[in-house]
Amino acid sequence: MSKCEQCIVRQFSSLKALTKDELLRMANCKTSYTIKKGEPIFEEGEVTNGVYCIKEGVCKMTKLSANGKDQIVKLVKSGEMLGQRSMISEEPANLSAIALEDMEVCFVPKAEIMQFFNQNNQFSLNIMRTICGDLKEADDQMVSMAQKSVKERLAQTLIYLEDTFGNNEDGSLRIQLSREELAGIIGTATESCIRLLSDFNKSELIAISGKKIIIKNKKELRKLSE
């Protein structure tokens, strides 16, 4: 039995539609990599020529803004696939994918994926649904940026980080973003983000220990995020 068959990516992504034979074919043509924390899986403008399956770890998807700063567009965790849209639109990558922790990633060449896409209706439908889901997410994010205050967006982001990625044993958020990265997600200056975190700390919504953040009053934080 191929390892692709038992892989976490298969459970959560478009790959669940592939047959045993297709999975075996994929297992034979994929390349596995270890990506170290801080390293790119691919960069904006790169021609990826295939898709990346995130077997383990979390990465940030970033876009270089006009002022030369990296804006975090979204975070991606294990079980997901990257590069589906650029592969189908035949365009270079629109975003960079940078590891937030050590990652295990598999690369499957475009030729193989396109063969599945053309032969397996359910697989191609799944990929389209994923791309539509990403578009919906981008729309929601845009509306949130336009209509919510920076304070509300910070509360929303902290809850998202805990709900999606969980906590360390000491209760702190497992995904530890720098203040600059947090500011990039909520669309504000780093100084404003630090000031807001300090306010949240004083109000006992969160506790701050060095770079670590612990959510103390999720109910109030959720209320604030809405």
How much is the average pLDDT of 105-112? 94
CA dist., res. 195 & res. 187, Å (int):
14
**From the CB of residue 185, how many other CB atoms can be counted at a distance below 10 Å?**
22
Whether pLDDT at 3 is above 80: no
Whole-prediction pTM: 0.85
pLDDT-based confidence at residue 101 (cuts at 50, 70, 90):
very high
3-state secondary structure 3-15: HHHHCHHHHHCHH
Q: What is the rounded average pLDDT for all residues in the chain? A: 91
- Is the per-residue pLDDT at 1 higher than 50? no
- Residues 6 or more apart from 68 whose CB is under 8 A from it? none
The proportion of the chain whose per-residue pLDDT surpasses 70, expressed as a percent, equals: 99
- pLDDT at position 40 is 96
Question: What are the structure tokens assigned to 73, written together?
Answer: 């567009």
Q: Which of 77-81, 101-105, 135-139, 150-154 has the lowest mean pLDDT?
A: 135-139
Percentage of the chain with pLDDT > 90?
A: 65
Mean pLDDT, rounded, for 76-97: 92
Q: Whose structure tokens read 């990516």? A: 9
- 146 vs 17: which has the higher pLDDT: 17
| Residues 7-12, mean pLDDT to the nearest whole number | 80
The pLDDT tens digits for 27-57 are 899 999 999 999 999 999 999 999 999 999 9
DSSP state of 23: H
pLDDT tens digits for range 185-206: 888 889 999 999 999 999 999 9
125: left (phi over 0), alpha (psi -120 to 50) or beta: alpha
Position 8 scores a pLDDT of 80
For the beta sheet containing 96-99, the strands, ordered from the edge strand earlier in sequence to the opposite edge, are 40-42, 96-99, 59-64, 70-76
Cα separation, 182 vs 211, whole angstroms: 12
pLDDT bin (cut points 50, 70, 90) of residue 160 is very high
Return the half-sphere exposure (C-beta side, CA atoms, 13 A cut-off) of residue 226.
5
